[in-house]
Amino acid sequence: MISSFRNFAKTKFAGLLVFIIIIPFVFWGMGGMFSSGNTNSVAKINNHNISTQEFIDYLNSSGVPEKTIRENLDKNIVEELLSGLISTTLIDLEIKNFELIISEITLLKKIKENKNFKDENGSFQRIKYEKFLLENNLSAPSFEQRLRDRELQKNLFDYIGAGTVQPQFLVNKLYEEENKKLEIEYLNLSGFYKKNEEITDSELKKFINDNKDQLKVEYIDFSYAIINPKNLIGVDDFNQSFFDKIDQIEIDISNEVEFETILSSLNISATNIESFRYSSDKNEIEKKIFELRNNKFDIFENKNDYILYNVKNVAETEPDLNDKQIKQEVIELVSQKNKFDYNKDLLDKITNKQFDNANFLQMGKGNIQTTKLNSIRDNKMFEINAVEVLYSLPVNSFTLINDEKNNIYLAKVKKFEEETVSANDEKFQEYISKQKTNSKNNLLKSYDLLLNDKYNVSLNQKTIQRVKNFFQ
CA distance 174 to 166: 11
Provide mean pLDDT across the span 249-278: 94
Provide mean pLDDT across the span 410-422: 82
Span 288-335, pLDDT tens digits: 999 999 999 999 998 889 999 999 999 988 888 988 888 998 999 999
> Are 14 and 117 within one domain?
yes
Residue 210 resides in a domain: no
Span 32-42, pLDDT tens digits: 444 333 446 88
Number of domains in the chain: 3
Among 288, 317, 346, give the residue marking a domain's end: 317
User: Taking a C-beta distance cutoff of 8 angstroms, is the pair 32, 469 a contact?
Assistant: no
User: Across the chain, what does the average pLDDT equal?
Assistant: 81
pLDDT tier for residue 400 given thresholds of 50, 70 and 90: very high
Provide mean pLDDT across the span 37-53: 77
> Are 400 and 461 within one domain?
no
Would you say residue 263 has pLDDT above 90? yes
Would you say residue 259 has pLDDT above 80? yes
Among 257, 287, 317, give the residue marking a domain's end: 317
CA distance 35 to 51: 10
DSSP secondary structure code for residue 191 in this structure? G
> Are 408 and 430 within one domain?
no
- Of residues 271 and 469, more confidence is placed in 271
> Are 98 and 3 within one domain?
yes
> Are 102 and 12 within one domain?
yes
Percent of the chain clearing pLDDT 70 (strictly above): 80
Residue 208 resides in a domain: no
> Are 301 and 391 within one domain?
no
pTM: 0.49
> Are 139 and 222 within one domain?
no
Span 157-171, pLDDT tens digits: 766 665 555 556 556
- Of residues 408 and 57, more confidence is placed in 408
pLDDT of residue 165: 53
Residue 203 resides in a domain: no
Span 98-115, pLDDT tens digits: 777 888 888 888 888 888
Span 127-157, pLDDT tens digits: 888 888 888 888 888 888 888 888 887 777 7
Span 449-468, pLDDT tens digits: 777 677 788 888 888 888 88
> Are 144 and 189 within one domain?
no
Residue 211 resides in a domain: no
> Are 261 and 390 within one domain?
no
Residue 363 resides in a domain: yes
Structural domain containing residue 447: 1-169+426-472
Say which amino acid occupies 148: R
Residue 207 resides in a domain: no
> Are 136 and 6 within one domain?
yes
Q: Which residues, other chains included, contact 468 with Cβ-Cβ below 8 Å and sequence gap of 6+? A: 73, 78
Would you say residue 440 has pLDDT above 70? no
> Are 382 and 297 within one domain?
no
Q: Which residues, other chains included, contact 439 with Cβ-Cβ below 8 Å and sequence gap of 6+? A: 164, 165, 166
> Are 347 and 405 within one domain?
yes
pLDDT tier for residue 272 given thresholds of 50, 70 and 90: very high
Residue 204 resides in a domain: no
